[in-house]
Structure 1
Amino acid sequence: MKITNLIILLFLGQIIFAQSRAEKIDSVSQIIHNKNPEVAISIGFIDNGKEYFFNYGNISRENNANINKNTIYEIGSITKLLTANLIAQAQEEGKLKIDEFIDDYIPEEYTLPKNIRNKIKISDLASHQSGLPDLDFEKLMKLKPKQPLDVNKETIHSIINDSTELLDYGNYRYSNISYTLLGMILEKVYEEDFEKILRDKILVPAQMSNTYTTKFDVKNRVTGYDINGVEQDYFNWNPLTAPAGLLKSNSSDMTKFLKTLLSNSGQISKATEITENTYYKNTQREVGFGQEIARIQDDTFFYKTGDTFSGSSIIAYDKKSNWGIIILINQHNSDLIRNLFNSNYEKALE
């Protein structure tokens, strides 16, 4: 009887601790939103398997309808975390090896020049150290100011086929072209398009029914704004650049993804173990496979940020403490998203 009572007390203690951590997140985030009332903020938090959702603000600055856990945002480069997981799954299935060179994995129409063949590994792409030139965003902005990622094969050819040297191979340099190539590699080894691979291997297994690719014109969707508060379009889906950052989702679906990562069961979670290894490290950052690694004293958590013209986001999780968090805002404001995460980490998660 005493043992039973002890178990009950321990269980209740875990619930109270989880609630207090969630309550701290709500309190901290509400204070930050009060200072930025024009910005919509959606947060999904998972603590020892229990889900919490916090939403502050409206669908747009002209529409006072409240946002909720199902409200859609652009998640930007958080897409890369899902792409990296797909590559890790491909290794688990024997479709590729991430320490192999990319030469035999990219489509035949993309041919690396002779002097840079057999130098770039798949893991180099995922950890942003391939040395390849990236998409010329400034040039693309001039061509299509609202849709710079709407590129064609000729643009990709000009980067891959005409690269004569790897200027900074082995050094970290954030790269969208690397994830464009990872998408091509996935399509080649599975002989299916990226969207179908993503749906079959992540969205359906994780029950992410409201994460959008080509069609995202839904009613419950925030209007996005740039840093100056000017309304911005969402990026259209482009099959070439999609793996680098074109998904749209909500805090509910992304929390399901986090729950799957933390579950220690299933193909997605198993692949996550590969993405959590260190592939690049210097005094300023430590990079895994599609995500960054933060070590604070004896605590380690993994995170990925995302920015588009219309929003900013961050996803993070800590397996030891068994928590995960997704924060989405409808303004391109990396300082605000950083403040939201850092403040919550210091007050509730550390």
Structure 2
Amino acid sequence: MKIIISVIILLVSGQLAFGQSREKKIDSICQAIQNKNPKVGISIGFIDNGKEYFINYGEISRESDLKVDENTVYEIGSITKLLTANLIVQAQDEGKLKVDDFIDNYLPKEYILSEKLKGKLKISDLASHQSGLPDFDFGKLIKLNPKQPLNIKKETIHSIINDSTKLSDYGNYRYSNISYVLMGIMLENIYSKSFDKLIKEKILVPSKMNNTLTTDFNVKNKVIGYDINGVQQDYFVWNSLFASAGLLKSNTFDMSKLLKTLLSNKGKIGKATSVTEKTFYKNTLMEIGFGQEIERNGNDTFFYKAGDTFSCSSIFAYDKKSNWGIVIMINHKNSDLIRELINTIYEQVLR
């Protein structure tokens, strides 16, 4: 399995008893890994043939005795992109755009593409990270605002879009936050609504994701997050410009509802997966859809998206053929630990 490439599968010690349910096996794996990382809060939501299971280990912070549970809120970072991509396809289904359209006519008037870029970039290029546009200089943003580097201003985006005269490696994969920021801007422009209102109206409310948070995340049952060195970190504040690229906060209870919706193919959200799950880019190492990656293992195909912030790491994955879905959240920026969890679970339980 190469759900996140170049990772050695780490197997938990001991043999899982034959005949255990998949949920029990996942629980055993989570417990063993959490025992090796006792300071980390771990929450898992698992859908197995339509049935929901929730597995939780650890506390909401290193200073608290309060245990994490399925209602505990974490930052989900770039998993937000999966929802943004779904909104784009819903807009296509409503006749607002076509994913193969060039982006020129969907941007607000203050965004002016150079003559060399006009009629060049498609919406699908943005969604599959093939635009070649220059991305944000995060080193510079961190120097300007170490605690809240994503609190960007319109001028920053203008300088990237309006001043760009060439595309680097257009048509090749290069992970891009600016592409998803632009998709959010385009959605706001065509609907004349804020991204906050759109995502609530078209995804959160229909899916009954009542505790997935946008502008206001001042809730009690949320984790305190820590960076890779164990230093406590603030959550990213909601910035209307960067929101569509990675600023949602959620819990495993809500994200499991979204998994069930995607697995069912029902409703506008489920219908949109007919496009988001298509291959828009492929090389020998990866296969990319809209807002997510695609993994093939023999005759099996599953989809996934990972998210990292300064304080949390997470992953969201599902397999329609085998009818499972899983979301894993930890209160520690540690993509290696997320890889260990998802790879071990997949190899020992789901494949």
With the length of structure 1 as denominator, give the TM-score of the two structures: 0.94
Give me the whole-angstrom Cα distance separating, in 1, the residues matched to 2:35 and 2:323.
29
Give me the whole-angstrom Cα distance separating, in 2, the residues matched to 1:227 and 1:188.
37
Which ranges of 4 or more aligned residues in structure 1 deviate by more than 3 Å? Answer: none
**Structure 2 partner of 1:143:** 144
How far 1:38 moved relative to its partner?
0.4
Give me the whole-angstrom Cα distance separating, in 2, the residues matched to 1:253 and 1:209.
7
How far 1:264 moved relative to its partner?
2.0
Q: Letter of the aligned partner of 1:276 in structure 2?
A: E
Cα distance, 1:90–1:18 mapped onto 2, change above 3 Å: farther
**Structure 2 partner of 1:59:** 60
**Structure 1 partner of 2:44:** 43
**Structure 2 partner of 1:233:** 234
Aligned pairs for 1:97-116 within 5 A: 97-116=98-117
Contact between 2:112 and 2:162, CA under 8 Å: does it hold in 1?
A: yes
**Structure 1 partner of 2:179:** 178
Give me the whole-angstrom Cα distance separating, in 2, the residues matched to 1:36 and 1:251.
20
**Structure 2 partner of 1:22:** 23
Give me the whole-angstrom Cα distance separating, in 1, the residues matched to 2:195 and 2:219.
22
Q: Letter of the aligned partner of 1:246 in structure 2?
A: L
Higher-Rg structure is: 1
Identity across the alignment (%): 69
Helix, strand or coil: the match of 1:183? helix
**Structure 2 partner of 1:273:** 274
Q: Residues 124-160 of structure 1, C-alpha deviation per residue, up to 9 Å, x if partnerless?
A: 0000010100011000000000111100000000000
Helix, strand or coil: the match of 1:116? coil
With the length of structure 2 as denominator, give the TM-score of the two structures: 0.94
Contact between 2:265 and 2:273, CA under 8 Å: does it hold in 1?
A: no
**Structure 2 partner of 1:286:** 287
Aligned pairs for 1:203-242 within 5 A: 203-242=204-243
Q: Residues 181-231 of structure 1, C-alpha deviation per residue, up to 9 Å, x if partnerless?
A: 000111111111111110000000000000000110111000000001000
Give me the whole-angstrom Cα distance separating, in 2, the residues matched to 1:175 and 1:228.
26
Contact between 1:127 and 1:280, CA under 8 Å: does it hold in 2?
A: yes
How far 1:19 moved relative to its partner?
7.1
Aligned pairs for 1:1-350 within 5 A: 20-350=21-351
**Structure 1 partner of 2:13:** none
Give me the whole-angstrom Cα distance separating, in 2, the residues matched to 1:189 and 1:158.
22
Give me the whole-angstrom Cα distance separating, in 1, the residues matched to 2:187 and 2:248.
17
Contact between 2:71 and 2:253, CA under 8 Å: does it hold in 1?
A: yes
Give me the whole-angstrom Cα distance separating, in 2, the residues matched to 1:92 and 1:262.
19
Give me the whole-angstrom Cα distance separating, in 1, the residues matched to 2:108 and 2:285.
35
Unaligned runs of 5+ in 2: 1-17
Q: Residues 49-80 of structure 1, C-alpha deviation per residue, up to 9 Å, x if partnerless?
A: 10000000001000011111000000000000
The CA RMSD measured in Å over matched residues stands at 1.1
Q: Letter of the aligned partner of 2:105 in structure 1?
A: D
Give me the whole-angstrom Cα distance separating, in 1, the residues matched to 2:195 and 2:293.
23
Give me the whole-angstrom Cα distance separating, in 2, the residues matched to 1:18 and 1:70.
30
Higher relative helix content: 1
Unaligned runs of 5+ in 1: 1-16
Give me the whole-angstrom Cα distance separating, in 2, the residues matched to 1:168 and 1:265.
37
Give me the whole-angstrom Cα distance separating, in 1, the residues matched to 2:291 and 2:321.
20
Contact between 2:132 and 2:172, CA under 8 Å: does it hold in 1?
A: yes
